[in-house]
Structures are given as C-alpha cells and as structure tokens.
C-alpha cells in the first residue's frame, strides 16, 4: 500500500542513484515575504490540533487531523479498500482494507503538515510573493520558497537516520528542488493552504502534495 503515498523518502530513494549535475541559480529574496513566510509557519505550528485535507499528485485524496506531534490520514470511507495511516508516538499504523502494517516513523518519510512546516522553518533559502488568488471564500495571498539543498540534505539525513546515512541524503537532495507555497487569508493571516512541489533536475515527473486547512 505504500506505493500509493508520496513521501520524500521515496523520492530521495529514486534520485539517490542518479548522477545529475547541480546548477542552482541565485534568486532575489524579498525581505518582507520572508518575514511573512516565517510568521505563517510559526503561527501554524502553534496550533496543536486541527483538521486538514491532503491531495497527492492531484489524484489521491485524504482527510486528516494533526494532534500535537501525532496525526491521522484516511481515505473516503466509501472506497472498497479504505486506506488509513496513523502516527502514534514513534509508530506508524497502516491499513488498507483488512491488510495492516506497523512501521517506525523514520521508515515513512514526511507526510504530515507539521513535519513539512518544521522542515520549512529551518531550511528556507529565498522567498517571493505570488499574485493574489481568488477562491470561493475570498482572496488569498501567497508566498513561495525554495529550500536550501545543503540544509535540506542534513535535516532529512537526521530525520531518516541509518536509511540515508553517510551523506546519502545530502547527495539525493542535490538532485531535486523542493518548493513550498503557503496561501493565507490577508484579513486574519490564517494559513489556508500549503503546497509542496518536488521538482527533479532531470527526467522524473514533478510530484505534488497539497494541504488545505479548515
């Protein structure tokens, strides 16, 4: 069932054996947008419990709930083989229909919004404002950032432990770009959406995770 789930560990595993030249272009960062990005991240991290929706690659859809450091994701109950993923402490519980599996959290990669917000908080390299976006609930303002590959590699290596030791995480992180977009309500500055785009420097299709907060 794990092949249905987009996680950074799977992307890194695909890239770690590839030899791709790295050519990063310097980008101008807006100080005001960087301040706003940090503000949105820290504000959302202070919320200890909240529901959310997750869409993987525009197809697989899950409802979820963040509860402190723990979280739960589950697919539509009407599906024949409902998928449920739940983190409790250092354990991940997976089920699809009657099939069940237990994993350690470090075997699973990054899947909860809190995981990505923590990574984002410490790895931002530049930010820029996005054009305002109109939605059914009103106007949203957006900020985009790209994570520094060196910091990203170290953080993911620490996170994944032995699976990506000896610099494997750093080497893999240099073979793709990780871009985040945060959308928020300008009146309340409440975070509305978080989108992650995993962009390979060569070959593979771009992968996306899209979180929507209620």
For 38-78, how does the pLDDT look when each residue is reduced to its tens digit (9 = 90+)? Answer: 999 999 999 999 999 999 888 888 999 999 999 999 987 77
pLDDT band for 122, please (50, 70, 90 cuts). Answer: confident
Describe the crossing of helices 113-123 and 149-160 by its angle, rounded to 10 degrees: 140
pTM for this predicted structure: 0.79
Burial of 77 (0-12, 13-18, 19+ CB in 10 A): exposed
Domain spanning 2-61+109-213: CATH 2.50.20? yes
pLDDT of residue 81: 79
Closest CA to 124 of 39, 193, 19, 212: 39
Angle at 211 between CA 107 and CA 142, to 5 degrees: 130
Q: Name the H helices within the chain.
A: 8-15, 31-46, 113-123, 149-160, 168-173
pLDDT band for 198, please (50, 70, 90 cuts). Answer: confident
């Amino acid at each position: 069932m794990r092949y249905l789930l987009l996680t950074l560990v799977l992307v890194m595993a695909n890239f770690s054996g590839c030899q791709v030249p790295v050519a990063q272009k310097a980008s101008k960062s807006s100080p005001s947008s960087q301040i706003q990005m940090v503000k949105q991240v820290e504000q959302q991290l202070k919320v200890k419990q909240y529901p959310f929706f997750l869409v993987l690659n525009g197809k697989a859809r899950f409802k979820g709930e963040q509860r402190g450091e723990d979280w739960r994701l589950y697919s539509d109950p009407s599906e024949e083989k409902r998928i449920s993923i739940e983190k409790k402490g250092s354990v991940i519980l997976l089920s699809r229909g009657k099939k069940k599996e237990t994993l350690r959290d470090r075997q699973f990669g990054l899947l909860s919004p809190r995981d990505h917000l923590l990574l984002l908080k410490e790895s931002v390299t530049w930010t820029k404002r996005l054009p305002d976006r109109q939605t059914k609930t009103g106007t949203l303002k957006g900020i985009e950032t790209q994570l520094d590959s060196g910091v990203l590699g170290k953080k993911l290596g620490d996170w994944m432990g032995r699976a990506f030791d000896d610099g494997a995480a750093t080497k893999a992180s240099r073979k793709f770009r990780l871009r985040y977009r945060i959308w928020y309500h300008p009146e309340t500055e409440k975070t509305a959406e978080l989108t992650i785009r995993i962009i390979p420097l060569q070959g593979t299709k771009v992968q996306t995770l899209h979180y929507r907060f209620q």
